[in-house]
Chain A
Amino acid sequence: MDANASARLKKRGSAWALNIALFISMLIICLPGLWIVLNSLRPTVEIMAKPPVWIPRELSFDAYVDMFSGVGQGGIPVVAYFRNSVIIAVTSTIISLAIGMSGGYAFARYRFKGKSAWFLGLMLTRTVPGIALSLPLFFLYAKVGLIDTHAGMIIAYTALNVPFSIWLIDGFFRQVPRDLAEAAQIDGCTRWQAFWQVEFPLARPGIASAGIFAFLTSWNEFALASQLTRSTDSKTLPVGLLDYTAEFTIDWRGMCALAVVMIIPALLLTYAVQKHLVSGLTSGAIKG
């Protein structure tokens, strides 16, 4: 009976320890986000207070009101940045999805020489650090007049997103059995119809998540945007965030509020696709 009792104790003890470890990890993951939300609602004096104020005494939405009232505190045109971000992210997402679908379908359905080399080659273009790419792009864009335009950013982000979209969409098309398209062709569809009537609807959730992934990449990108944009004509939110840092002072509260504005669309979208995102990326892991 002793062995049983100690085995039971050990099992219970380790279960508790592991639950506590999980709880602490989750806390650490959530803490920075909560800290930001909290500070976007606190007056600056409270943020700066020494000794620190732990329990907020007054909360207000002033920072958000300032931000969207056009020329608010410090005159940062958040609305324009927001609009630029949306236009650039959405357009580049749509284009890279179209290109990604076509490329992903080619990898998923056709056999050809040097297929894996092509695949690896496309992926490797993604490894080029944004800052390294920004140097020649800056030069090229300056020549053709794309600096500080929506079009310039859209083209750059499309190229950034294509490799990953291909990877994801390839994975999703592979999960759709080949037989289905063949059955549809026997039922009288052309290859083109078979794709749109059968394969596309089945892969749609995956394609949607590839789209959202592309959107997030564009939405969050900084290294390229910081060099290729100049003014309210094309500056995106991540670049706009820097407006809050002056030479020696930082408007912590305003920055926190802008951070919250940036994170909310990303949060909603990621939540919507979390399931498909992982399955698309891993389907390639198992069957090469």
Chain B
Amino acid sequence: MKASRLPPHIMLLLPAVIVLAAVVVLPLLLSLWSSFTPFRLTRPESVYQFIGIRNYQRIFGDMDFWIAFGRTVLLLTVALNLEMLIGLGLALLVDRQTRGQRLLRTILMFPMMFSPILVGFQFKFMFNDNVGLVNNALQSLGLTDKAIPWLIDGKLAFLAIAAAEIWSSTAVFAIFILAGLMAMPRDPQEAARVDGCTPWQTFRYVTWPFLMPFAFIAMTIRSLDVARAYDIIKIMTDGGPAGRTEVLWTLIARTAYSDARMGMANAMAYVAILLSVAFTAYFFSQLGKARAQVAGDW
């Protein structure tokens, strides 16, 4: 390492910055521009035609867009909260086991290895009205003799998608919270028990404040790639039938590639990006707060 003119940290960060600028920032600028044009893939010259915020005006006035937007936020909120709760429960259940923890942890990580596309396919198979595991089981147990249209009815499909999403991502929370449980000192918990706490009070007043940073770091990491849910939905319903499970991302894909209206799709994409950034920024700030609370001794 010869003495270079730039300070070393800039040299070290440069490759990362260049790659991200070229592959993420530059294209995003491009798409920002094209969101102000009526760009269609079929008419490349249309990318130079500036139409101001007409695309945005149109999507903001578009009911279908808002429904998809609302559905996306609802899905994320429901899924993330349930994942956090279930993950916490799982972590606590595994933590109290004295034997076989390693095996249990490996099983916990199992869904993390599945590509979202595989998860989508798996659940599409399981919720299939004709040959799926769920209907087969319900029918064999005599709970119903009908084929429940899991992926065809709008509400049921939402449930099925949420189930798939939760199955695939709860592990992230469970693993992080478990790591928190293992890292935390046990004495304060014992002190709380001696101080007269019931198990619930011990959890509420002592364990949870310790775990919060871990839960939020899991939230932050999860929010970084919430859009992975696109893969699941794409496979399970592809937004259908008749748009009954359409979310932002499937709508973007359809607008861009099926309808070839790139400019419009890019405008929608910007809304989706801002949504993701908002989720991440929110959890990141929560992480900071939680960390400040238990900081010091750690």
Contacts and interface: CB of A to CB of B under 8 A. Distances in A.
Interface stretch (B53-61, B77-85, B153-161, B251-259): B251-259
Contacts of A137: 23, 27
Interface residues of B, number: 99
The contact size tier of chain A is 35 or more
Chain B contact surface mostly:
helix
Given A54-B140, A129-B227, A281-B221, A222 B115 contact: yes
B280 A110 contact: no
B202 interface: no
Nearest to B279: A127
Contact of A252 (B114, B125, B178): B125
A263 B140 CA distance: 30
B91 to A, nearest CB: 11
A32 interface: yes
A129 B298 contact: no
Contacts of A99: 15-16, 19
A35 B125 CA distance: 10
Contact of A26 (B13, B107, B125, B140): B107
Interface in A180-218: 190-192, 216
A71 interface: no
Contacts, number: 259
B131 A48 contact: yes
Interface string B164-185: 0001000100011011100100
Contacts of A26: 104, 107
B249 A241 contact: no
A221 B20 CA distance: 18
Contacts of A18: 93, 96
A252 B227 contact: no
Contact of B12 (A105, A155, A267): A105
B113 A270 contact: yes
Given A159-B22, A262-B118, A285-B216, 9 more contacts: A22-B104, A47-B131, A127-B277, A140-B26, A159-B23, A238-B117, A238-B118, A267-B113, A285-B217
